[in-house]
Every structure is written in structure tokens, then in C-alpha cells.
Amino acid sequence: MTKFVVVVGGVISGVGKGVTSSSIAKILKECGYSVTAIKIDPYINYDAGTLRPTEHGEVWVTDDGGEIDQDLGNYERFLDIDIPKKNNLTTGQIYKTVIDKERAGEYLGNTVQFIPHIPEEIKKRILEAAKGYDFGIIEIGGTVGDYENIPYLFATKSMERDLGKQNIVHVLITYLPIPGNIEEMKTKPTQQAIRLLSEMGILPDFIICRAKVPLDDVRKKKIEVYANIRSGHVISEPDIDTIYRIPLDLEKESFSTKLLNEFGMKPLKKPNFSKWEKSVEAITKSKDEINIAIVGKYVDIGEFSLTDSYISVSHALIHAGAAINKRVKITWVDSKKFEKDSKAVNELKNVDGIVIPGGFGSSGVEGKIKAIKFARENRVPFLGLCYGLQLAVVEFARNVCDMKDANTTEVNPKTGFPVIDIIESQKELMKKHEYGGTMRLGAYAANLKEGTKVLQLYKDSKRLEKDQARLEELRADKGQGFRLGKITEKNVVLERHRHRYEVNPKFVPQLEKCGLRFSGYHERFDNTKLMEFIELEGHPYFVATQSHPEFKSRLEDPAPLFLGLVKACK
């Protein structure tokens, strides 16, 4: 039977509930158990695809095409597994299912009510998502006391009754502020969070205390007594230099032993964090530093700069750096400034590599094109991701192939050279205003051409083997089989997508003639070839992809194209 660890937040959000939950999952995995994670987002949006990236950060994409909260990315990065979209629950999905069922007569004769129908649907989905695993980590978004959390807390409380208390543990993650005027760590907000949770009938089995500095024994004791929990179950988690240190720190407090003990279990093997520790050392202490600019759009929001929109890109860079014992410094650059000041792009002289990440719309686009031109002409290592590939194609068309006003039709629908365009099936969807979940989403097979740098990078990694197993699964899966398309080359890789526009097949021969190499493509069953990778010969590293390889990068298995980039950086 699957056992559950439910993680809820208290006091404030944004204190690392997601990374702490991922760390708990990682520890259990290291003890020899199979673990999956379920993220609950209590908003009414059906998925994260329609949320504002500047408010909610990046949209995470799963292999099976889910558009999900970025927290799921942490689980994949920590656990090195692919998590399907069913592992993300939103209030929108729950209510839609219940209402659809009611319309279909499934509850005929009954009054459909908040209790029991909503929590029942929640529990059903949780059990389905965790089926077959030893442990399911359930992370409930937001903090206790939020109105929108109530049905989920009700559901996990009732799981205690269904499954038996010995099979479910509640972990409360709180924050202990140190107000500047008194310089003393305060436990009161934590006490209030405990009380709010108890109003739902839930008494936490562990309290993990986030704070600027470690918790002292006096405060630990105070919280322990207040919450009436076992000694040693108040765990201190102070601010640290990298999130990847959290599992190591939790283990310093013997967290795995204490947690398994709650379930009456023992580790199946002794946790071995030696490789993980080595990466953490590289990330934090390596003397060798490389400076990479992420030239993007969502960088400045009001008085704050929000780098969360590119969180997976920055992690993929960090993973790749760690693999070659280099610390990656990221310089966040707002592409708009290259538009205002034509000389500003020269500041990219000071970086070792340039990444153009994904994006939408026309703002900042000309600045990104300038940065790409700079990278191409000055032989600065460059990696383009999704929009980054599309704009690299635009730049090449304009400045090398002499297609003066070349553009993507996303920016200029009237361009004479629509080198990036929307394909017919997408046009239909747009006409019908069907925006939710209709982009090219999730993993698609790309045929890699022999003799390309891109193929070599994948060959040097574990990915071709890993993806081979996944290809077999897809062959057997009718619902997802379209992701394969026609397999025409010996080497195939699966990368995740989230976009509507594509390289316009009409221009491929012309671009190739001017020297742009298309290193891989997806071939749909209707014979349409969608370009997946480009590269330039004779440049130290000029590679771009229509996909988002950052979604498959893990601390212990970095994404090949990112590894290629950091290796090319001086």
C-alpha cells in the first residue's frame, strides 16, 4: 500500500515548500523506496498554462503535455523521474470533473455537495497518481488558513481515516521571522499556523522551520510543546547557498530515520549522497566560474526582478556547470535595453555564453535578435531555446540570407519572409479561440541527423538510451503514440515542447543553402517536417532547439545541449 507524506505551508508562501518537499522525496528515494510527487494548486484555472508568467513564474511542461506549476520541476530535478500531468491537481479540474459527472447522470438521485463529493474526487485522484509507488508526497499549495485549501486539507484528513493514521504523515513548513527592530526570532506565527491546522483536525507530525538562521533549542522546545509533537520532530531549515543542500541538511537531523519511524519502517538501504554532495560542492565552492547571460523579457516587474520565469533554464545551467566542476554565474539581461541603446549589446563582451530562452509576443524581440547576432558574429557560445531558435532563424535569414524583413508571423504577420510561421492546425484553433492546452505540448521525438554536433552531444550523454525505453512505451500507448511521428533516423531523442509557431518548411532549403544546419526534425504522420534543432558549423557553439531541454535536466544527469554550452565557455 502506498504511504503518504502531506506537506502544508504555514505563515507565508515562498519559503521553499516545494524544494523541501522535493528533498523529502529525494531522501526517501535514497533509502531505497519508490517515490512520486503530487502537487495541488488550489486555483480555479484548469492548469497553469493560462497563468501570467510574471506572477507565477515558469510554466512547467510534462512529457505527456501537461502545463503545470514549476514546483513539479523540482521533483523531477531531485528525483530524476518523469512525472505525468495527472500528478497536478487544481480546483478547476476537480470541480469540472464533478460537474461533468453530475451532468452525465453519474450521481443520479443525489444532491451533489461540497462534502463529500469534492474531497472524494480529490482523494480518488491522489490515489490514482500514487498507485504502484511506495510513497506519494502530496504538496498542498498556499498556506494553511487560505480559504481555497480547505477541501484539500479535508481530503488528506479523511485519508488518515481511510488508510489508517500509520500510513499518512503531515509535515508543516513554517517561517520564523526575525523583525529588524528587535533582532529576535519569533515563534508566534508558527504557533498560529499550528492552531489553524488543528482547526482542520490535523496535528502535524513534523514541523520544518524555515528561517534566516538555525533555530535554537529554546525555540525548538517552545514549538514542540505548543504543537504537542515528539521531541526531535521540530526540524530547523535555515537559509542556505543552494537548494540542493536541503536533503543533506535534513539528513543531519536524521530526518529519514525519524520519518520512516513514523510509518513503522526502516530504510531499505543506507542513503548514499556522495555524488549529490560532490555536485553541491561544485555549485557552491568551485573556484572556476563561468558567466552566462540569459537575455529575456520577463526580467523586470515593478520594483522587483522576477527570475522565476526562467527557473528551469537557470537550473539546467547550474546542473551542467556542476558536472564539469564549474560554478555558473547567471547575468539576467532585459533584451529591451538593447533596443533602446544600440551600443548596449556590446556589454555581452563580458559574458562567457549567451542563452535566449523561450518567450511569447513581440516585446523585447528585436533586442534578442541583436544579442543573437552578437553571439554569432563574435563567436560567443550560444544556446537558443524555443523562441530562441525561432529568433536565431530570423536573425540568420535577415543578416546572412539577405531576407531583409524576415520575421516570425507572431511579430509581423505581413513579413515578406515568414521564416517562422504558424501551421494550419494551429490556425484553426486560434480562429476558434481555443487557447487552453492547445499548443504543441509535451515530448516529441526528434530524428537526429548523422554527423551533427547535436547528435554527438546526445551520444555523449545517457539520454539516447533513456529515451529509447520511453520510445518503446510510446509505441505501446495509443493515446500518446502521435508523439513519435515517423522515425527515420537511427538516433532519436524526446524533448518537451510548448509553442505554436514552427520553422516554415518552405524556407528550409534556402536557409540550408546559406549555411544553417538543421540537425534534427520531427516528422508528423502527415509528412510535415518540423525542425527541432539548428547549429552552425565553424562557430565554437551555436546551437538552438525548438524544444525546452531544460525540462529534462537533472542535477545528476544534466541536459546535453546545456552541457555543450558550458563546456564551450572559456
Provide the total of helices (H) and of strands (E) in the chain, helices listed first.
20, 23
Query: Given the complex with ligand GLN, which of 449 and 498 has the nearer CB atom?
Result: 498
In angstroms, what CA-CA distances link 205 with 45, 83, 146, 199, 209?
A: 31, 27, 21, 15, 13
Of residues 241, 237, 248, 253, the one with CA closest to residue 271: 248
| CA angle 383–387–391, rounded 5-degree value | 80
What does each C-alpha distance from 107 to 10, 90, 101, 103, 508 come to in angstroms?
Answer: 36, 22, 7, 9, 55
Q: Give me the 449-488 binding string for ligand GLN, x by CB under 6 A, dash otherwise.
A: ----------------------------------------
| Least separation in angstroms between CB 59 and ligand GLN | 9
- The span from the CA of 422 to the CA of 428, in Å, is 10
Cβ atoms of residues 374 and 362 within 8 Å: no
Minimum gap (Å) between residue 389 Cβ and ligand GLN: 8
The 8-class DSSP code of residue 166 comes to G
Cβ proximity to ligand GLN, 398 vs 567, nearer residue: 398
Q: Does 60 sit near ligand GLN (CB under 6 A)?
A: no
Query: How many residues of this chain bind ligand GLN (CB under 6 A)?
Result: 11
How near is the Cβ of 453 to ligand GLN at its closest, in Å? 22
Residue 105 beta carbon to ligand GLN: minimum distance, rounded to whole angstroms: 40
Write the CA distances from 66 to 225, 330, 488, integer angstroms.
43, 28, 27
Closest to ligand GLN by CB, 170 vs 498, is: 498
Helix axes 17-30, 255-262, angle to 10 degrees: 80
Judged by CB under 6 A, the residue of 498, 517, 529, 567 near ligand GLN is 498
Residues 394-423 that bind ligand GLN (CB under 6 A): 410
Least CB distance to ligand GLN at residue 408 (A): 7
In this structure, the strands spanning 353-356 and 418-422 are unpaired
Residue nearest to ligand GLN (CB): 358
State how far the Cα of 83 lies from the Cα of 63, in Å rounded to an integer. 8
Instruction: Output 426 or 452, the one with its CB closest to ligand GLN.
Output: 426
Helix (H, G, I), strand (E, B) or coil at 557: strand
> What does the block give as the cell for 255?
530526518
Residue of 387, 458, 533, 542 that binds ligand GLN (CB under 6 A): 387
Active site residues: 386, 548, 550
Write each residue from 185 to 204 as x if it is in contact with ligand GLN (CB under 6 A), else as -, in one continuous string: --------------------
Element (H, E) at 290: strand 289-296
CA distance 151 to 118: 7
Name the residue nearer to ligand GLN (CB basis): 306 or 386.
386
Q: Is 175 helix (H, G, I), strand (E, B) or coil?
A: strand
Pairing relationship of beta strands 491-499 and 234-238 according to DSSP bridges: unpaired
Q: Which three cell numbers stand for residue 492?
A: 532519436
Q: Of 398, 449, 500, 522, which one interacts with ligand GLN (CB under 6 A)?
A: 500
Q: How far is the CB of 422 from ligand GLN (least distance, A)?
A: 8
Interface with ligand GLN (CB under 6 A), residue from 5, 380, 386, 419: 386
Stretch binding ligand GLN (CB under 6 A), from 96-104, 150-158, 172-180, 385-393: 385-393
Beta-bridge partners for 502: 421
Taking the least distance from each CB to ligand GLN, the nearer of 498 and 567 is: 498
Residue 307 phi, psi (nearest 5): -95, -5
What track of x and - describes contact with ligand GLN for positions 345 through 384 (by CB under 6 A)? -------------xxx------------------------
Of the pair 16, 358, the CB lying nearest ligand GLN is at 358
Q: Which of 75, 501, 518, 533 binds ligand GLN (CB under 6 A)?
A: 501
Choices 8-16, 166-174, 496-504, 555-563 (CB under 6 A): range interacting with ligand GLN: 496-504
Report the interface residues with ligand GLN, using CB under 6 A: 358-360, 386-387, 390, 410, 498-501
